[in-house]
Each structure stands twice: as structure tokens, then as C-alpha cells.
Structure 1
């Protein structure tokens, strides 16, 4: 086996990415402190043709050198918007038919592997603060709470890792025929 060169990967140009059909997935970052985590979420969002990222509360916005360091240019491809109040955004999205899913450990949470993706449905995935998680009022307003199964001694994953795991799972389920 031989590793492929970047020129062999057949990736989209920035213009082609902007014109490409996006997956019906929105990411909401609820008060994320780490600029590197924010950049990593942008990069994951680029990889899986995410429709949009909402940066809420204390979540920093591009341009910023520490976001850029991990985003590697994906802040130029992925559509994003800053919204101060996460709960107001969630309520607004729900009125347009978007199903809001907080990624959190909570009562009656659905395990990610058991979460069924409905065809023709747009999902907003909410990822929370590195210490406090998704705000309780946002969890309460969500249509679903999705938990990533974990089997070790730790109680959580890094937010950028959680985003990669959940986005890949939802993306994969969207691609499967019913």
C-alpha cells in the first residue's frame, strides 16, 4: 500500500464546496471555551458537508489564529453565524421543523447507536461547554438528548471528539437507504 498524495484525494475546491449540496445537519456550539475545539469542529463540519455552524454565548468566532490553527481553512468553507442566546436559537430552529438534539448525559437520553435518523428531517446537534456541558434550559427544550455510550472510567469525551463521533454516526445513517 502507498499513502495517497493530497493531489490524489480529489477534494472539492472552496467554490465547489460552497455550491455542493449539504447534509441536513446543523451544529450548535453552546459556550465552548477552547478555540482549538472550535477549529476542530469547523474541520469536521467541512469533512461531512455540514449545512451550518452556530457559535453561541462565549464561543469565539473566526477569524482567530487559534481557531485557524485547527480549522485549516474550513472557516472559509463552512457557513457559520454567531448567535448570543442558544435557547432562543433552538426555539427558532424548532419553529422551522428542525429537530434539536442535545449531546449530553441526561435522563431518558437515547444512546447514539440506538438513535434513528428520520429521512427528510433536518437535525441540529448541540454540543456544550467543556466543563458544564449543554445548558439545562437547552437540554429541556431539545427534541432529543443523545448520549455517546462510554465504557471506561471517565465521564465524558472532549467536545471535538464528541462532535466527530456524532456527526459521523448521523452522516452515515443519512446515507443508508431505509
Structure 2
């Protein structure tokens, strides 16, 4: 997997990711780049100085800022292990379930929100959705190094499992009740639908409730990552007030 750009590369180094080599633009100088190179050397990472054309080609159009790190493929977490560990620590959990989110930039932004809001896991489906890619890592600004992303075979089975574990599961849909009237304290899972189709009908039926973000303008929906951020931070607000 490629970590593209200064933020993504720096966070990968800070998190101790398994970086195979660091590719740096040879004719570019900056303090930030120098710090990254120094950090990579301290960790014994192989450093290759190359030209901008090579970086442009391998960045696939993303802004590489003169640096790309080649790391091992993302290792997904096991959801049951995440839940067990949080239970053992006595922690209230928030989990994001993504139902058909296919845009890597949306997934990356959701992971970034998840890190900022202290979300315990982001769950993506094996099919009908985006996994962790170079573009996801870049958009997450390095947050992918800290957020636990689990990949599951079936989102509906995962909803059933979480409900059995005592989670309250909410699906997001503009026809639901206002999120301000929902109790988002305790162990919760929030289902975010994909671009265009939203949360699938059966998945909504399996949820404990359907919530909506109140809207007052003319556009009829929010971007998936924006919606995730709004709902997650309402949960944060309710928990802080409750505590």
C-alpha cells in the first residue's frame, strides 16, 4: 500500500507502520520533508531519492508533496476482538457500519472523523463497498494508522451480532426521526449508507431505530462522511452531557 503525502507518511512513521521504503523527490527541499527523512532513517527504513515524474506516476493524481512511503497491505481488525477488548476495559463503544460506501475519499474522511471523535471501529463490507486503499489513507490524513477498520462478509449479520451484544443500532435515513430525539448514549452502532442508495431496506429493518439529521435547506442529502461526522459528534455531545 502507498502512503502518499507528508501527513500520511508522517503518521505512518509515528504509528510504527511496516514501511518497506520511502521515496523522496530528490530536488525538493523543505523542513517537513527533512524531518520525515530523518525519522525514516532512525527507523531503519530504506530511502530512495527519485524524480518528480516517478512520484507523479505512482501517486495516481494525488498530491504527493514530494514523498511516498511503500508499506505492507492494511491488516483489518476482527470486530469481535474489538468488542471483547472494549468490554474488558469497561468502555462505552461507538461503532460505524458503512453500508455501500464506495468512494475512497468518503471512506478516508469517515476514518478521519472516527479518529477525532474516538470511534471504536469502522466496519466495511467485503463486497459492495470500499476497503482501505492508497486514496483512503491519503484522504484520512494518517488517521487510518489509528482507527480500527474491520471488514465483514455481511453487514446484516453484523447488525444482528451487535444487537445480541447489547448495542443499540441506528440506521441513518432522511425519513427517520430527528437524531436529537434519539438516545445515543451507551453502546451504539450507527449505519451510514452509500452514495446514492443510502442504507439498504433490509438493513434498516434490522436496526433498532432510524434517525435523520434535520435539514433546513434545499439540498436533500448530505455527503456520507459529513453525515457520519454530524451523527457521531451528536453522540459525543450526549455522552458528555450524560456524564
* TM norm structure 1: 0.82
**In structure 2, distance between residues paired with 1:23 and 1:40:** 23
Question: Which residue is 2:130 aligned to?
Answer: 60
Which among 83, 102, 114 is matched to residue 181 of structure 2?
114
Question: Which residue is 1:139 aligned to?
Answer: 204
Question: Which residue is 1:27 aligned to?
Answer: 96
Question: Which residue is 2:108 aligned to?
Answer: 39
Question: Which residue is 1:90 aligned to?
Answer: 159
Q: Which has the higher contact order (CA 8 A, sep 6+)?
A: 1
**In structure 1, distance between residues paired with 2:111 and 2:184:** 22
Question: Which residue is 1:5 aligned to?
Answer: none
Q: Residue 75 in 1 paired to residue 144 in 2?
A: yes
Q: Residue 160 in 1 paired to residue 218 in 2?
A: no
Deviation at 1:176, TM superposition (A): 1.1
**In structure 2, distance between residues paired with 1:93 and 1:116:** 17
**In structure 2, distance between residues paired with 1:45 and 1:113:** 20
Question: Which residue is 1:4 aligned to?
Answer: none
**In structure 2, distance between residues paired with 1:159 and 1:175:** 24
**In structure 2, distance between residues paired with 1:134 and 1:169:** 20
Deviations 1:71-123 (A, max 9, x none): 111111111111121111101111111111001123xx2201222234xx200
Question: What is the aligned-residue RMSD (CA, Å)?
Answer: 2.1
Larger Rg: 2
**5+ long unaligned stretches in structure 1:** 1-12
TM superposition outliers: structure 1 runs of 4+ over 4 Å: 20-23
**In structure 1, distance between residues paired with 2:135 and 2:130:** 10
**In structure 1, distance between residues paired with 2:117 and 2:220:** 27
Size of the aligned set, in residue pairs, is 158
* TM norm structure 2: 0.61
**5+ long unaligned stretches in structure 2:** 1-13, 17-85
**In structure 2, distance between residues paired with 1:81 and 1:69:** 19
Question: Which residue is 1:149 aligned to?
Answer: 214
